[in-house]
Amino acid sequence: MTSFILNERLISTGERPGLTVLEFVRDVSCLSGTKEACREGECGACTVLVGRRGADGAVSYKACASCLLPIGDVDGCHVVTVEGLSGAELTLVQKLIVEHSASQCGFCTPGIVLSLTGFCLGAKKLSYEGAVDALDGNICRCTGYVSIRNAARALCASLAKMDLPPAKRLGELAAAGVVPAYFKEIPARLARLEAEPAAAGGNAVLVAGGTDLFVQKPGQLIDSELCFLSRRPDLNYIKIDGGVLRVGGAVTIEEFRLSPEVLLHFPALEKDFLRHSSAILRNKATLAGNVVNASPIGDATVILLALDARMVITGTGGRREVPLSKFYLSYKKTDLGCSELVSEIVIPLLPEGARYHFEKISNRATLDTAAVNSALLLTTGPGGAITDLKLSAGGVAEVPLLLNTESFKGQKLDAETVEALARAAEGEARPIDDIRGSAAYKKLLLGQLVRAHFASTAAAGEAV
């Protein structure tokens, strides 16, 4: 049985855990406000809110693409669709969308309502820029977004005085008409709702965020036994431990990006991971899942390669550690055994004076897969000699590459060295013609990104 609160109603269902929330709300619960427009998390029309009760008893809400969200993953949660927002009165978000004419055909509108409402519930600061970030996965083909931006701006203006942290904001948000009053009862109701522990069956398919898995094989997953890592609190941690950052296998991209540890030790990652994917996917996709997915072009992978990350792999055979640079064997093949999982990612803290930089080029600047991406970690000694250099590249081979830079160590970092490095990178690249670009483009582009790394790190000085 899967139990969750759907809007105001308690649901206990025997439907298969692999059924998506989108299918459940539309076909089983007959709530048609949540729209299907792409089934791949690319458009945001099916956005719902998932409220999960934390250890402190507070419920944190995240906007998620319901087309990639299996109901097994929301066991014990509060799921909010557009029907769960307004009663007789429109909510504040809804009123502002109408006021600013931020809806035309209307098919994307419920998703936009949910994303903005999720922003009000979950964002640390209610800034206009944050609201736009929250909408980066909601495509609208009609309005041209100007009116949507105006509505978002008005929303932030009307909530300007709200400075409570998200966990304590519920009462005020209800009073401001952002969410209905019943939301206030949800934490207590969820406390009474016991989620079943994560299944541990040997044949179970591990689902981390599921945002790629449910794009690739939704048909298969509906009949599979699933084990959801979101229900493994033991894997949900980020901590500094000596000279390393330890990230549990269930940590989402968004949790990672905005965690105090990352903001303190790797401040550049906040922006870099904003380009990883849209808010509705970052809220679900996990850092470890992105690495295990083994895409030759994964942003997280390319960043972690340059940061010299190690994978902690746990399975029936025990626990082992593998450097990420040795983790990929061939296209989409990893060093992960069938009963193993990446339980932790270990990222060494940056050495004193190290410079880090990430470059990503995609057809659309945001919410798009890279044609080529690359990350750099550089330390130089006295006199500007390179003491350590890690340079990674995605989209130029069947696996994400850590380029061979041994010969550059000890060299003086000057224009000539950068040029030689750019050419060496081009030489190592073995891209193919595909939907992300021609091989010729990707090869040349990698060289340019190497040049861009140094142009940017030079400008940024010692900053990370």
Per CB under 8 A, contacts with another protein among 123-162 are 132, 135-136, 138-149
182 vs 441, beta carbon nearer another protein? 441
Helices (H) and strands (E) in the chain, counts: 17, 18
- Ranges within 71-110 binding another protein (CB under 8 A): 81-83, 85-86, 90, 93-94, 97-98, 101, 103-110
Nearest to 62 by CA among 131, 5, 20, 119: 119
Number of residues that bind another protein (CB under 8 A): 76
The 3-state secondary structure of 367-386, one letter per residue: CCCEEEEEEEEEEECHHHEE
- Nearest approach in angstroms of CB 310 to another protein is 30
Which range in 9-17, 42-50, 169-177, 300-308 contacts another protein by CB under 8 A? 42-50
3 vs 86, beta carbon nearer another protein? 86
- Ranges within 203-232 binding another protein (CB under 8 A): 215, 219
- Ranges within 10-29 binding another protein (CB under 8 A): 26
Helix (H) or strand (E) holding 312: strand 310-315
126 vs 445, beta carbon nearer another protein? 445
Q: What residues are paired with 323 via a beta bridge?
A: 310
How many CA atoms are closer than 13 Å to the CA of 164, on its beta-carbon side?
A: 10
d(CA 380, CA 409): 9
- Nearest approach in angstroms of CB 11 to another protein is 18
d(CA 70, CA 50): 12
User: Which of 6, 45, 50, 262: binder of another protein (CB under 8 A)?
Assistant: 45
- Ranges within 300-359 binding another protein (CB under 8 A): 359
Nearest to 204 by CA among 217, 223, 218: 223
Residues 334, 292: contact at Cβ < 8 Å?
yes
Please report where in the chains the tokens 């130089």 appear, as a residue. Answer: 380
Nearest to 109 by CA among 82, 90, 149: 82
Q: Is 427 a residue that touches another protein (CB under 8 A)?
A: no
- Nearest approach in angstroms of CB 52 to another protein is 23
45 vs 198, beta carbon nearer another protein? 45
- Nearest approach in angstroms of CB 139 to another protein is 6
- Nearest approach in angstroms of CB 7 to another protein is 11
Residues 301, 289: contact at Cβ < 8 Å?
no
Pairing of strands 205-207, 59-65: unpaired
Burial of 60 (0-12, 13-18, 19+ CB in 10 A): middle
- Nearest approach in angstroms of CB 69 to another protein is 17
> What's the length of the chain?
464
207 vs 449, beta carbon nearer another protein? 449
- Maximum separation of any 2 CA atoms in the chain, in Å: 71
Q: Is 460 a residue that touches another protein (CB under 8 A)?
A: no
Task: Provide the token pair at 327.
Answer: 């983790």
Interface characters, 429-458, with another protein (x: CB under 8 A): ------xxxx-xx--xx--xx-xx--x---
189 vs 451, beta carbon nearer another protein? 451
User: Which of 21, 35, 156, 457: binder of another protein (CB under 8 A)?
Assistant: 35
148 vs 245, beta carbon nearer another protein? 148
Which range in 39-47, 58-66, 254-262, 344-352 contacts another protein by CB under 8 A? 39-47
Dihedral of the alpha carbons of 51, 56, 58, 61, in degrees to the nearest 10: -30
The number of angstroms, rounded, from the C-alpha of 224 to the middle of its chain's C-alpha atoms is: 24
Which range in 41-49, 199-207, 229-237, 415-423 contacts another protein by CB under 8 A? 41-49
For the beta sheet containing 310-315, the strands, ordered from the edge strand earlier in sequence to the opposite edge, are 238-241, 244-248, 341-348, 310-315, 318-323
- Nearest approach in angstroms of CB 71 to another protein is 17
- Ranges within 378-417 binding another protein (CB under 8 A): none
Burial of 35 (0-12, 13-18, 19+ CB in 10 A): buried
Task: Provide the token pair at 53.
Answer: 């009760």
- Ranges within 271-300 binding another protein (CB under 8 A): none
85 vs 245, beta carbon nearer another protein? 85
161 vs 364, beta carbon nearer another protein? 364
250 vs 449, beta carbon nearer another protein? 449
User: Which of 365, 382, 383, 406: binder of another protein (CB under 8 A)?
Assistant: 365
Please report where in the chains the tokens 């009462």 appear, as a residue. Answer: 171
Q: Is 361 a residue that touches another protein (CB under 8 A)?
A: yes
143 vs 230, beta carbon nearer another protein? 143
d(CA 69, CA 86): 23
- Nearest approach in angstroms of CB 285 to another protein is 14
